Amino acid sequence: MAFRVTRSIVPNLFTLGNLFSGFLAIINFAHGLSDDRAITIGALYILAAAIFDMLDGIMARLVRSASELGVELDSLCDLVSFGVAPSVLLYVVYYHDTGPAGMLLAALPAMAGAYRLARFNVQLVSLDDKHYFRGLPIPAGALTIVSFVVFYLQPKTFPPQWMSIATNFVTVVTALAMVSTIRYDNVPRPNRRAFAQRPVFTVLFVLAIGAVIASKGTLAFPLLLLYIISGAVRHGLQQLAMRSDEHHDYDDFDN
């Protein structure tokens, strides 16, 4: 059987690095009940998966090997690292003793992520970078859940009476954001062109990364939650503006 090495092997290796990191995260999360450190280690593997996910696209453009196969492979790997792994984490840390309803809630990120990725693939018309995504990108959803669990749920930051409300809220809102039609900004690329096209968002993104590093990760969840909510608010305001314009046009025609 012939095996031909092409330029696409470079970004595909980064994509598979994403999958391997997600696999290692799941293994560590599965040991979370008996070893709290395993949760932190698993969270670091999710972070590594996100870095691999970002680098595979950069490498594909550098070697000019973007392809439909790469897109499909990326989606399959994303589902494991950013869909299944966060669901396993939620189940192990909180939902494992809440019965069938807890199993369903824990599975929501995985199911929403699968739908989100399938919709993205069938609607894909170009391999070029997009400034916006329809629905919350699945890596952002995963990082939201993981940062919430590691920095707020596992250390029991919330009072006991608020624990269930907070966990259900984060789980459901993240899943709904992924399957929604809300436009969310794509991560800016590290080049001058990206800065020239979206200077404000690029500066805010860099500041957010700096804040997360300076806070040793504790600001990741609040900033990601702000990202989710701000996208929903912007979408709502745009919808109201469109309805207002349609109503205004109708009044003008009527007169």
**pLDDT single digits (tens) 1-40:** 454 556 668 888 999 999 999 999 999 999 988 888 999 9
Residue 236 tokens, joined = 């709502």
Please give the pLDDT value at position 255: 44
CA 185 to each of CA 126, 136, 147: distance values in angstroms, whole numbers, following the listed order: 17, 9, 20
Assign 184 to helix, strand or coil: strand
Assign 185 to helix, strand or coil: strand
**pLDDT single digits (tens) 90-132:** 999 999 999 999 999 999 999 999 999 999 988 876 656 677 8
Answer yes or no: are the C-beta atoms of 153 and 169 closer than 8 Å: no
Residue 7 CB neighbours (<10 A): 14
- At residue 134, what are phi and psi to the nearest 5 degrees? -90, 110
Answer yes or no: are the C-beta atoms of 218 and 167 closer than 8 Å: no
Q: Please state the separation of Cα 202 from the chain's center in Å.
A: 18
- String of DSSP letters for 9-42: HHHHHHHHHHHHHHHHHHHHHHTTTT-HHHHHHH
Residue 29 tokens, joined = 């999360």
Average pLDDT across the chain, whole number: 88
Ordered by start, the domain boundaries in the chain are 9-254
Please give the pLDDT value at position 253: 46
Q: Is the per-residue pLDDT at 188 higher than 80?
A: no
Please give the pLDDT value at position 34: 82
Q: Which residues pair with 133 in a beta bridge?
A: 184
User: Is domain 9-254 given the CATH code 3.65.10.10 in the classification?
Assistant: no
d(CA 188, CA 202): 6
Q: Which residues pair with 184 in a beta bridge?
A: 133
Check residue 183 and report its DSSP letter. E
Residue 19 tokens, joined = 């999958």
Answer yes or no: are the C-beta atoms of 90 and 149 closer than 8 Å: yes
pTM for the predicted model, two decimal places: 0.89
- String of DSSP letters for 92-134: HHTGGGSHHHHHHHHHHHHHHHHHHHHHHHHH---SS--SEEE
d(CA 158, CA 216): 19
Residue 233 CB neighbours (<10 A): 11
